[in-house]
Structure 1
Amino acid sequence: MAHANTYDNSNASNHSELLGLSNLTLQPYESNLNSKENLEERYQILVLQVNSTNGSQLREYNSCLAAVCYQLGRIYYDTEDDPARAESMFLKAKDTVKDHESEADNILSVINSLNMLGYIKVKNNEDYERALQYLLEAQCVYQEYSELKWGSATSVGQLLPNFPIKRTLLTNKNPLINARLFTLFYIIEVYKHHGNITDALLCTHQTLKIQLENNVFLQSPLDWALSSALIANLLCQQNAYQQARHHLAAASTFMEKIIPKQYVNLFKCVFLLPLSIQNKYII
């Protein structure tokens, strides 16, 4: 792995299943599962247009083709249980816009496709190393996009204006943040599999921060709070008590807002207090 486990992770390892998502969850997406034939027809048309066009319009056609490839890949995976065919579509989505992955018109198609490639490698092939390569590639694409400040990511509805979307998702208010979070959640799964708890905790810290800053919560409230408490545990091991206090307070405050008051003390006693006592840190 890229980073050695420099911390004493024995305590955190006992609770590593609480990092990230409690289950390996398939990333939601906006689509119309009844539109397979329309998408396949659109795919064929776009392939012809890409092969017969030069200049600035070629880039537009490539962006649309990448979006169609991602949508078809999801349909093949979700409804037809054909991971090999889906994988080929996800690969084509990112290869179609090669060298332009981080542009606003392409970033959602590319990161979502890389996320799905990572998911398939873990879920269907148990190939964690290849999965991590795809997910770290998604990280790099997002980093480049952030540095270049391309502007708001172009949605599938903008790229494919005549494409009917039936499902409306809670996460569609910020689809790029949604995609970014799932990249991190899937990376956490790989790190957990390898027993790399330090890097899993660091990625978990990123997910907590991103969710709070953007008011987009993909974890359950309990998972979010427990993850924050485990980050506090790691910080205590490094004598970073002020930062640890911040994470424990965040976990406690967050739970107070979303669960009945009579259960708040139970949560503190069962989950937060043991973490604090084992590090000689009192809530």
Structure 2
Amino acid sequence: MADAPWVELREKFQAALALSRVELHKNPEKEPYKSKYHARALLEEVKALLGPAPEDEDDRPQAEDSLGTGDHTLGLPAELVEAEGPIALGAVRRAVIEFHLGVNHIDTEELSAGEEHLVKCLRLLRKYRMSQDCVSLYIQAQNNLGILWSEREEIESAQAYLESSEALYNQYMKEIGSPPLDPTEHFLSEEEKLAEQERSKRFEKVYTHNLYYLAQVYQHMEMFEKAAHYCHSTLKRQLEHNAYHPMEWAINAATLSQFYINKQCFMEARHCLSAANVIFGQTGKISTMEDRQHRRA
């Protein structure tokens, strides 16, 4: 990493995050992405201060990066390689910036550029993806690529990325299990790092989003049984973690009930409708519990 003052890096990164969260309607009408572009400029400054990534075999383009077929879809589990030492630390911080640049470009409807940054993020993290420092970021990058390919109606590529994320989450929880770092922590001081409870909450939210998008993909592929299973899991987890929009949750639960009715599973259908009615009653009475921008997690 270049000899840039650590404080300057942190401040620029935090400022970029704050600008990224500005809602579009708060920007000038003729410049709806003004805050996004400002955030992008700051992220590019941080990237420049970090310096170029060292040439590494794992950083070079690999076929699966661009085709949406990760290691897990090929049946190859990830190996644990800790992100230790200055080279690894630099790679992880660059990956964080590439991730946020990717999301930024997608938010401004520059999908090809967004894809390029997200793929760079995966390359930088590939060998560290099972580590506590990197697993959440790696899954989030794959989730976003899954969403991107889904929006392009390239459903098989979307499926590959999302299933790879699911497999990595399951492997990590089985073999390690401790709450991983949130990507933002790579630009925080030790005193500012998150508590384990908050880390766990954020990681589980990432996985819930993964299941949510897998449900959409399976529905699109007419794998209705599987789609219903993932939809049910998503709704259940959203309730458990108190992270949902009442209106959206109720609609999804009511929709799921129709699947059960068609399968003549009337008890399950009734349960879904009853739950939908209860949660719908919360609409307008409580504040939004979940950030609608799923890409943020």
Normalising by the smaller structure, the TM-score range is: 0.5 to 0.7
What is the aligned partner in structure 1 of residue 188 from structure 2? 161
Q: Which among 128, 131, 141 is matched to residue 113 of structure 1?
A: 141
Question: 1:173–1:106: structure 2 CA closer, same or farther, 3 Å change rule?
Answer: closer
Q: Which residue number in structure 2 is paired with residue 278 of structure 1?
A: none
- Which residue matches 1:88? 116
Structure-1 separation of matches of 2:282 and 2:134: 38
Distance 1:91-1:233 versus aligned 2 partners, 3 A rule: same
> In structure 2, which of residues 214, 234, 237 is the aligned counterpart of residue 187 of structure 1?
214
Q: 1:221 to 1:35 in 2, by over 3 A?
A: closer
**Unmatched 5+ residue regions in structure 2?**
1-15, 20-35, 57-82, 190-197, 286-297
Instruction: State the structure with bigger RCO (CA 8 A, min sep 6), 1 or 2.
Output: 1
Residues 1:255 and 2:294 are matched in the alignment: no
**Deviation of 1:59 (Å):** 2.7
Q: Distance in 2 between matches of 1:111 and 1:244?
A: 32
Aligned Cα root-mean-square deviation (Å): 3.2
Secondary structure of 2:222's partner?
A: coil
- Runs of 5+ consecutive residues of structure 1 not aligned to the other structure: 1-28, 163-170, 261-283
Q: Equivalent pairs: percent with the same residue?
A: 21
Is residue 225–residue 251 contact of structure 1 (8 Å, CA) maintained in 2? yes
Q: Does 1:58 align with 2:87?
A: yes
| Matched ranges for 1:98-177 at <5 A | 98-123=126-151, 125-161=152-188, 174-177=201-204
Distance 1:199 1:30 in 2: 36
- Code of the aligned partner of 1:77: I
**Structure-2 change in CA distance of 1:99 and 1:122 (3 Å):** same
- Per-residue deviation, 1:238: 5.9
TM-score between the two structures when normalised by the length of structure 2: 0.62
Letter in 1 for 2:160: Q
Equivalent residue number for residue 39 of structure 1:
43
Q: How much does 1:84 deviate?
A: 1.6
Seen in structure 2, the aligned counterparts of structure 1 residues 48 and 204 have a Cα distance that, compared at 3 Å, is same
The letter of the residue matching 2:278 is T
Shift of 1:187: 1.8
Q: For residue 158 of structure 1, what is the amino acid of its counterpart?
A: E
Partner of 2:106: 77
Q: Partner of 2:240 in structure 1?
A: 213
Question: What is the SS of the residue equivalent to 1:35?
Answer: helix
Q: 1:226 to 1:70 in 2, by over 3 A?
A: same
How many residues align structurally?
219
In the alignment, is the contact (CA less than 8 A) between 2:143 and 2:162 conserved in 1?
yes
Query: Is contact 1:62-1:97 (8 Å) kept?
Result: yes
Cα separation, 2, equivalents of 1:38 and 1:114 = 24
Q: Which amino acid aligns with 2:87?
A: L
Q: What CA distance in whole angstroms lies between the structure 2 residues aligned with 1:55 and 1:135? A: 27
Which structure has the larger Rg? 1
**Structure 2 vs 1, CA of residues 36 and 229 (structure 1 numbering), >3 Å: closer, same or farther?**
closer
1:84-108 Cα distance to aligned partner (Å, 9 max, x none) = 2211111111221113223232123
- Deviation of 1:201 after TM superposition, in Å, equals 0.9
Distance of 1:83 and 1:108 partners within structure 2 = 22
Would the aligned equivalents of 1:104 and 1:150 in 2 still touch at CA under 8 Å? no
The Cα offsets for residues 223-255 of structure 1, whole Å up to 9 and x where unpaired, read as 322333444454566665555544343223223
Deviations 1:120-156 (A, max 9, x none): 2122x32111111111111112112221334223223
CA distance in 2, matches of 1:209, 1:149: 24
- DSSP 3-state at the match of 1:216: coil
Q: Distance in 1 between matches of 2:237 and 2:153?
A: 28
Change (3 A) 1:230 1:76: closer
Cα distance in 2, alignment partners of residues 156 and 30 from structure 1: 12
Q: Which residue does 1:168 correspond to in 2?
A: none
CA shift at 1:76, angstroms? 2.2
